[in-house]
């Protein structure tokens, strides 16, 4: 990569996420970055904005900062200002960071751009498939959640506040978020890849319930 600000942003994200939870660490960011550049190939977009948005989107996820949604955008903007990045670029990257998250899916998105569409699809892809399953159980373990409890049913119509406050078993997260994502993808590449990863999760859940009942 010949762009020095991208190199500096990679180093910044790696250092900042050194001790992050396994599903939201540098490797998550690297996968999102690579997927975003892949998806961007099929779209007429600004790849510098996409690279910076992907690399900084989880620099300080509110889940790990007592729900404070201002830390991530603040850290990203301080970093970009320190490196004299153009103010219009900074503004666009901050909008991506602020608007990328799912939050139960009922939150109205306050900003839209093709670049946000691409980074959001890349982040969503990493929530799906085998990696998505691994990340979800890692997060559930990190929060000491149950794997599954048949008596606690998934909640499909949560407000952003309820979604954030949920302590439900990890299997419920598949119904509350992961299985909904394939119909919310923005780009053609994102839709195609999401479909495949979705099928893999459905097969996983079938096998999970069969084993739960001791059928296999």
Q: Tell me the window of 47-55, 85-93, 113-121, 136-144 that interacts with ligand ADP (CB under 6 A).
A: 136-144
Residue from 139, 200, 204, 209 that binds ligand ADP (CB under 6 A)? Answer: 139
Q: How many CA atoms lie within 13 A of 47 on its CB side?
A: 15
Q: Which does 102 bind (CB under 5 to 8 A by kind): Ni ion, ligand ADP, none?
A: ligand ADP
DSSP code, position 183: G
Residue 67 CB, shortest distance to ligand ADP, in Å, is: 11
Helices 114-125 & 47-56 angle (0-180, nearest 10): 40
The CB-of-84 to ligand ADP minimum distance in angstroms stands at 30
Residue 37, token pair as written in the block: 């550049």
170 touches which of Ni ion, ligand ADP, none (CB within 5 to 8 A by kind)?
A: ligand ADP
182 binds ligand ADP (CB under 6 A): no
Question: Is the Cβ of residue 95 or residue 136 nearer to ligand ADP in the bound state?
Answer: 136
What totals of helices (H) and strands (E) does the chain contain, helices first? Answer: 10, 0
Using rule CB under 6 A, residue 127 touches ligand ADP: yes
From 6-14, 48-56, 113-121, 169-177, span contacting ligand ADP (CB under 6 A)? 169-177
Site for ligand ADP in 73-102 (CB under 6 A): 101-102
Q: 58: which residues sit within 8 A by CB, 6+ positions away?
A: 17, 20, 24, 28, 29, 32, 72
Does 136 sit near ligand ADP (CB under 6 A)? Answer: yes
Among 43, 61, 117, 121, binds ligand ADP (CB under 6 A): 61
Lookup: tokens for 38: 């892949």
Give me the residue label for tokens 């946000």: 116
CA distance 171 to 150: 10
Could you tell me the smallest distance in angstroms from the CB atom of residue 80 to ligand ADP? Answer: 21
Please say whether the beta carbons of 210 and 149 come within 8 A. Answer: no
Cβ atoms of 148 and 170 closer than 8 Å? yes
């Amino acid at each position: 990569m010949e762009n020095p600000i991208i190199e500096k942003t990679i180093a910044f994200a790696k250092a900042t996420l050194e001790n992050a939870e396994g599903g939201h660490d540098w490797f998550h960011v690297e996968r999102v970055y690579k997927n975003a550049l892949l998806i961007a190939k099929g779209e007429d977009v600004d790849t510098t904005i996409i690279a910076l948005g992907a690399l900084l989107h989880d620099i300080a996820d509110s889940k790990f900062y007592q729900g404070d949604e201002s830390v991530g955008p603040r850290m990203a903007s301080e970093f970009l200002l320190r490196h004299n990045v153009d103010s219009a670029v900074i503004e666009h990257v901050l909008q991506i960071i602020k608007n990328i998250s799912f939050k139960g899916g009922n939150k109205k998105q306050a900003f839209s751009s093709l670049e946000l569409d691409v980074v959001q699809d890349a982040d969503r892809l990493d929530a799906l498939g085998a990696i998505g399953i691994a990340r979800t159980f890692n997060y559930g373990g990190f929060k000491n959640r149950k794997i599954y409890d048949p008596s606690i049913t998934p909640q499909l119509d949560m407000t952003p506040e309820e979604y954030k406050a949920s302590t439900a078993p990890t299997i419920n997260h598949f119904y509350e978020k992961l299985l909904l994502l394939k119909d919310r993808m923005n780009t053609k590449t994102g839709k195609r890849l999401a479909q495949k990863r979705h099928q893999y999760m459905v097969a996983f859940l079938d096998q999970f319930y069969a084993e739960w009942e001791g059928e296999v």
